[in-house]
Chains A and B, each alone.
Chain A
Amino acid sequence: MKKHTAILCALMLAVSFGSFLAPSFADGGQQGTSPKVAHVPGVTENLKVWMNSKLGKPTVKEYHRKVHQNGTNCELCHGAVNPTKAPDDRNCLKCHGTREQVAQLTADLDHNPHNSPHYGIDAPCTTCHKEHQESTVYCNTCHPFKYKNFKK
């Protein structure tokens, strides 16, 4: 019920602001896309994210929006409707595969962040990957490595 109301309200606002905001969001959307991204956010979706960020609500990464239902499905990661804790790694691994499989994806890099000499495959996903704030590479507390596919 509340969810529906919120969505309807957002849609109405989107309609009224559409002509003014559409161009800049479209540009932003285009800049954010890459050939491998499965989901390309539309104007309405970008508008909602922008509104949520202005209201101080948690925002969800572009590449997670669809599966996270635009940030309304908190249970997927946090295991709770109104989460008070950081997500458990096991929820990341449900979609992304085992630690070994994730490490295999980046095995060709000069420095494999998912199987490092210092921590092996044991570093929790959220050591680097943050959903509601900018992500940072933990290795860069000491090393200057750059990972071009790392999404901030």
Chain B
Amino acid sequence: MKETEKKRSAHAGSVKSRREVLRTGALLAGGLAVGALSGCTGGENKNDLPVEKSRAPLGRWDKEYDVIVVGSGFAGMAAAIEARKTGASVLVVDKMPVFGGNSTINGGAFAVAGSPLQEKEGVKDSVDLMVQDMLKAGRGLNHMGLLKIVAAGTRGAYEFTLEHGVKFKPFLQHFGGHSVPRTLQTTISSGAGIVRPLRKSAANLGVAFRNRCKFEDFILDENDAVIGIRVKDRYEFPNEESGEFREFRAKRGVVMCSGGFSQDRRFRMMQNPRLDERVDSTNHPGATAESMQAMFGVGASPVQIDLIQLGPWSSPDEKGFGMVSQFNTIAGFPMGIMVDVRTGKRFVNELGDRKERAEAILTRQDETGKPVYPVVFCTAKGAEKAQTLKACLKYNVAWKFDTIADLAKHFGMPVEGLEEQVAMYNEAVKTGEDKQFGKPMGRAIPLDKAPFYAVRCWPKVHYTMGGVEIDTHGHVMHMRTGKPIEGLFAAGEVTGGPHGASRLGSCAVAETLVIGRIAGRNAGKRSA
């Protein structure tokens, strides 16, 4: 399955039509000295000469396509399908052995303003309300043009997913930071429920796929327009000595959907020196910065690169996103409390947004700078809907206790401190007001009945809000000229602007699909 490609006729792309040759000859004769000169030599044959308006020598390219998409997550699949529907021949390259990037391992939650399920359940929502929610989370730093496009496009993107066989659960979810329930989730609770149907659809439409094919750099013509990419084919991630250089032509455009850089420790520390080896990442191993850097290298404008979101719900006891993240999101944070093991005391509103919580947790360090992992716990009733709890207990990343004292002893907490905190919290549940940190108590329940389930907690780098600047058509913008870089488009986490300072949960799927479709369509429609 290295490459799936429909057979193309021998004629396609191999022989210039007579009309093309004539037009090229006319252009040369009409406007260029070089053309005039070539007109003087062997005049009768000039119309038959193959002439390329490009720095590339004839026969240079290993492969030629109309559109090349770099990356195979939500944005890449959306772009590839839409480009293909314009009639363009499309290639998707991905440096990893498997397709899907972070998209195929995410939670599959998709915020849609104005979905049929909202109409059915009587939820009043609007594009404007979604814009307001995202602006609030983004601390007002969102690029409004992109933000409005994303919010306005969610219904269309949702219909797009249905068209390609995606299935969602039959109920709405209310994610943190959203004013109303508007989040849909795939039936398998994973982004794979979106990526895999889209990829299958793309392949059926005739999109070619090439894995282990690492994008290295762009190839420009004499006007600095992007006309192709240089890749390492048969690349074995992460072996940088593997692979063979190839050059692929993209006659209409290149669409960069290469994702964020959460796993790129060097580059993320450049933006935020605290994100060192003590902070893991929820991302797949290939979420690195080199593709974004290559765009900067051809003049793309950087946007908010230092805005890096950490997932506050992850566990230091397991790799990546793990299973504890779901427990904390569903049970630990809303139904329980998070305490510092040195005191047994809370230190933040457990339902604050991701930025607020992550920053508070990161302050839990000893005098040498070593992390002191806080503990999150709740009752069995609070953990009722935590689907991953059973697996957490099985793999020893969660623990069960019959008394608060047992829990305290296991994690080395002062028993008196913790019991005092629990009593204070239970009082807040009763009165409906958290005077300590202002936690919304609507869903909270008292910590009054054994057994208790506890996990350790430490943030992981989750999402990079910044990236390259794009306009509302998906064009990558040049930082000096303020104009689009010809032939270069981008979508998804590799771009900056839509989310501002902090991305709202379930809005990444929305953004990638909406802008991915726009970028792909425009790349496909661009004339060669």
Which residues of A (110-134) have their CB < 8 Å from a CB of B? 117-120, 122-124, 126-127
Asked if A35 CB lies within 8 Å of chain B CBs, one says no
Please, what's the 1-or-0 string for B15-41, where 1 marks a CB less than 8 Å from any CB in chain A? 000000000000000000000000000
B236, A122: Cβ atoms closer than 8 Å? no
Given contact pairs A118-B105, A118-B190, A120-B196, A141 touches B98 in the complex (Cβ within 8 A)? no
Question: What string of 1s and 0s marks CB contacts (under 8 Å) between A73-93 and chain B?
Answer: 000000000000110110000
Q: Say yes or no: B97 contacts A124, CB within 8 Å.
A: yes
Would you give the 0/1 interface string for B167-209, flagging 1 where the beta carbon is closer than 8 Å to chain A?
0000000000000000000001010100010000000000000
Inter-chain contact A117/B190, CB cutoff 8 Å:
yes
Q: Specify which of B105, B196, B285, B318 is in contact with A144 (CB 8 Å cutoff).
A: B318
| B242 near A89: Cβ-Cβ < 8 Å | no
* Contacting pair A140 B196 (CB below 8 A): no
Q: Is A86 a contact partner of B242 (Cβ separation < 8 A)?
A: yes
> Are A123 and B395 in contact (CB-based, < 8 A)?
no
A120 to B188 CA separation, bound complex (whole angstroms) = 13
| Contacting pair A141 B284 (CB below 8 A) | yes
Q: Are A142 and B322 in contact (CB-based, < 8 A)?
A: yes
Find out whether the CB atom of B319 lies under 8 angstroms from the CB atom of A142.
Answer: yes
Complex-state Cα separation, A56 to B90, whole angstroms:
43
* Interface assignment of B483: CB less than 8 Å from any CB of chain A: no
CB within 8 Å for A122 and B98 given contacts A89-B1, A144-B395 = yes
- Complex: how many Å from CA A144 to CA B211? 26
**A123 proximity list for chain B (CB < 8 A):** 97-98
Q: Which residues of A contact B100 (CB under 8 A)?
A: 118-119
Q: Does A138 interact with chain B (Cβ within 8 Å)?
A: yes
Known contacts A119-B99, A123-B98: A86-B236 contact under CB 8 Å: yes
A127 to B98, Cβ gap below 8 A? yes
Residues of A within 8 A of B (CB): 85-86, 88-89, 117-120, 122-124, 126-127, 138, 140-144
For the complex of A and B, list the 8 residue pairs with the smallest distance between their C-beta atoms, beginning with the closest: A142-B320, A127-B97, A144-B395, A118-B192, A118-B104, A124-B97, A119-B98, A123-B98
Q: A119-B99, A144-B319 are in contact. List 14 more A-B contacts (CB 8 A).
A: A86-B234, A89-B1, A89-B2, A117-B192, A118-B104, A118-B192, A119-B104, A124-B1, A124-B212, A126-B97, A127-B97, A138-B97, A141-B285, A142-B322
